[in-house]
Amino acid sequence: MARKLFGTDGVRGTANAYPMTAEMALMLGAAVGRYFRNEHNGVHRVVIGKDTRLSGYMFENALTAGLTSTGMNALLLGPVPTPAVGLLTPSMRADLGIMISASHNPAEDNGIKFFGPDGFKLSDEVEAEIEKMLETGVRPAQPQNIGRAKRIDDGRFRYQERVKSTLPTGLRLDGIKVVIDCANGAAYRTAPEVLWELGADVVTVGTEPNGLNINADCGSTKPQKAADAVLRHNADVGICLDGDADRIILIDEKGQVADGDQIMGLMASRWAAEDRLKGGALVATVMSNLGLERFLDSQGLRLERTNVGDRYVVEAMRKGGFNLGGEQSGHIVMTDFATTGDGLMAGMQFLAEMVRSGRKASDLANCFEPVPQLLKNVRFGAGAAPLDKDSVKAAIAAAEADLQGKGRLLIRKSGTEPLIRVMAECEDPALLEQVVDGIVDEVQAVA
């Protein structure tokens, strides 16, 4: 069954415009509440978290109204990282979890992500069933069965203890100066507190949210402010999270940025050496650099590729019995510890390796030489379908012919924004620019 409302990570869009309206949130809450309430009898609970966007208040209230109308009891966590919702949903024996966030998107956007009772994101099939319920209508609960709402004040503290528990007992971060950039998002209190409790000297960036500055010139998608802070404060490492803290980008002591591929390469190599890497493989998406694949091969390990989206990475991990995966963008998934990408937990693993090895961040965050890769995004208007145009198809075919045997091309429509993503890899930088720009020009012409 096809999905129309859901993208690669829940429902997302501009706040107060379809589909991200209060009315739609109320209807979604009712539909998902009815769907999961049908699973069993007894008390029904939903855990709801959010990031720091101004529109989060509106969507929290609308979702709560829809959910309680079907008999769900809503447990409201307030601002917490997305992985906290994945953790607390099964911990609190909830029927489902909801995170209100548009992740790395600007403040005017918002989104709604759903987790099942096991703490994992919903499958395409379940999301399609929920969309079907939206179309056919939802039966409300009897008046005596309407649900209640309750604030849960210690949710982030429970999550913080879980993060610390992923490190070896007794490990301390004494003597390590860490710049932590929280993107003015969901981890603005959580991440600095965890680092401080473990003994680190903490320098904060992006920890003053005002509802409108989430991801604004900071965080994992714009790490320059954190890189400047690393150099200015002579820090040992910088950790950049995104708005809901399920992504991480690292900065070494020289101010150089390391993406998710480098972090995954380090972790896979280290876990394999410790006989902790299940299946002898790392799961990553088609966006991951060819250099990562070559590095893993040199270590006797495999790279299992999936479609773009951390949910597809997790599905492949669960199906294949793997315990480490992620995305170049910084989603790092460790199913021994969490059910979804967790930027803070991944950062803790990197810091633990710094302590264990005594090596600098610049040594650890450069596992392999990446193959030159170029990614450009083209925004398109409502109703446009650039990839269906003959001129764009012809440009893609020409680029594939030019790259034959020399590189790799990936063209896709974003599942979270109205963007066409054009990515290529090639050892020849001039050819790389040529093929990407040729496609971008054609897309722009019809977008």
Active-site residues, by number, are 103
- Per-residue tokens: 403: 């790259």
Query: Directed axis angle between helix 429-446 and helix 390-403, to 10°?
Result: 170
In DSSP terms, 48 is beta-bridged to: 76, 98
Max alpha carbon distance in the chain (Å)? 69
Residues in contact with 30: Cβ distance below 8 Å, sequence separation at least 6, in sequence order: 66, 67, 69, 70, 138, 140
- CA triplet 342, 348, 350: central angle to 5 degrees? 105
* CA atoms within 13 A of residue 170's CA, in its CB half-sphere: 1
Give the span between the Cα atoms of 378 and 387, in whole angstroms.
11
User: What is the signed CA dihedral for 103, 217, 421, 255, rounded to 10 degrees?
Assistant: -110
Burial class from Cβ neighbours inside 10 Å (0-12, 13-18, 19+) for residue 148 reads: exposed
Q: Is the dihedral of CA 117, 120, 124, 128 positive or negative?
A: positive
Cα–Cα distance, 20 to 395 (Å, whole number): 34
Residue partners of 135: CB distance under 8 A and separation at least 6: none
Output DSSP code: residue 331.
B
Residues in Cβ contact with 368 at an 8 Å cutoff, skipping those fewer than 6 apart: 261, 262, 265, 289, 291, 292, 294, 295
Cβ atoms of residues 95 and 45 within 8 Å: yes
Phi–psi pair at 171, nearest 5 degrees: -65, 135
Alpha helices in 274-422 (DSSP H): 290-298, 310-320, 343-357, 361-364, 390-403
Structure tokens at 92: 């609190």
Q: How far apart are CA 333 and CA 87, in angstroms?
A: 13
Q: State both tokens at 287.
A: 């966006």
Beta-bridge mates of residue 248: 241
3-state secondary structure of 221: coil
